[in-house]
Amino acid sequence: MTDHLGRVLIIAGSDSGGGAGVQADIKAVTALGGYAASAITAITVQNTLGVQAIHALPPDLVEAQARAVLDDIGADALKVGMLGDVAMVEAVARILDAAAGAPVVVDPVMVAKGGAALLAGTAIAAMRTLMIPRAALLTPNAPEAAALTGLTVETTDDLRRAGDALLAAGARAVLMKGGHIVGDSVVDVLMTTTGETTFEGPRIDTRHTHGTGCTLASACAAGLAQGLPLEQAVGRAWGYTAEAIRRAPGFGAGHGPLDHAWPMRGR
């Protein structure tokens, strides 16, 4: 834990079930000692069984939420999640440009755990041109990396090749997540232009993984907001998320939420 609170502005969708989206983001940042503010991009109707409805908020309202936070509270880092369409991507790009150089963690959310599409196919090109170059850290899983690069991503070596392509596209660092890669272990690879760090652990046999990507990205943003070096921020976030999966409370009949609050109760 760090003594620096760290202000994180979260730009993402709301999850009524509390397992992913802004709710997971706020829990993760708070559990790691940071301060979370938000600009909500969409309201979803969902639970552990899936997404039943999505209501996107007007991009100008999202921009107004973010600017209200930035103008008064400020932000030491930003986390970007569900955007939805091209107009929202463009609005968020303007927000990031107004954030006075604070590092941005971009989680390129495309599909919900239950399979619902959260990003229009027409917005993928906008993600490539407007979000990737603004990312201090990009956190794609294998399907997202494939969509952003056009490459096949089925192995850890494929993850690395896609990571190289995303660095070439302008991201300053990428955390290539291997949860979708078949194997007994989960291997995530943090890549920068100067090298890579691998995070590996046994695959946890559980259906309670809803919001894992949101949680990991926000935990990374909390570390960066608190002034941690990139590798340390990601390492802490990785360990925090893995333990949150292990301690999942078992809620719901589908893909259940994690235990975001576990650090508050100790090991």
Q: What is the pLDDT of residue 45?
A: 96
Q: At what angle do helices 230-246 and 212-225 cross, to 10 degrees?
A: 140
Q: What is the pLDDT of residue 100?
A: 80
Any residues with CB less than 8 A from the CB of 178 and at least 6 apart, and which? 142, 156, 159, 186, 187, 188, 189
Active-site residue, 177 included: yes
Domain 7-248 CATH class label: alpha beta
For the chain, give the secondary structure using H, E and C. Answer: CCCCCCEEEEEEEEECCCCCHHHHHHHHHHHCCCEEEEEEEEEEEEECCEEEEEEECCHHHHHHHHHHHHHHCCCCEEEECCCCCHHHHHHHHHHHHCCCCCCEEECCCCECCCCCECCCHHHHHHHHHHHHHHCCEECCEHHHHHHHHCCCCCCHHHHHHHHHHHHHCCCCEEEEECCCCCCCEEEEEEEECCEEEEEEEECCCCCCCECHHHHHHHHHHHHHHCCCCHHHHHHHHHHHHHHHHHCCCCCCCCCCECCCCHHHHCC
Active-site residue, 241 included: no
Q: Are 258 and 244 in contact (CB under 8 A)?
A: yes
Among the listed residues 209, 215, 241, 256, the single catalytic one is 209
This prediction has a pTM of 0.95
Q: What is the pLDDT of residue 109?
A: 86
Active-site residue, 139 included: no
Among the listed residues 30, 156, 212, 215, the single catalytic one is 212
Among the listed residues 18, 213, 223, 256, the single catalytic one is 213
Among the listed residues 6, 211, 223, 256, the single catalytic one is 211
Among the listed residues 6, 21, 84, 214, the single catalytic one is 214
Q: At what angle do helices 142-149 and 156-168 cross, to 10 degrees?
A: 50
For the chain, the structural domain boundaries read: 7-248
Active-site residue, 212 included: yes
Q: What parts of the chain have a pLDDT lower than 50?
A: 1-2
How is residue 40 written in tokens? 């909500």
Active-site residue, 13 included: no
Active-site residue, 179 included: no
Among the listed residues 177, 220, 223, 241, the single catalytic one is 177
Q: What is the pLDDT of residue 1?
A: 44
Q: Taking CA 147 as the corner, what is the angle to CA 180 and CA 102, rounded to the nearest 5 degrees?
A: 90
Q: Are 70 and 101 in contact (CB under 8 A)?
A: no
Q: What is the pLDDT of residue 203?
A: 94
Report d(CA 244, CA 223) in Å as an integer: 17
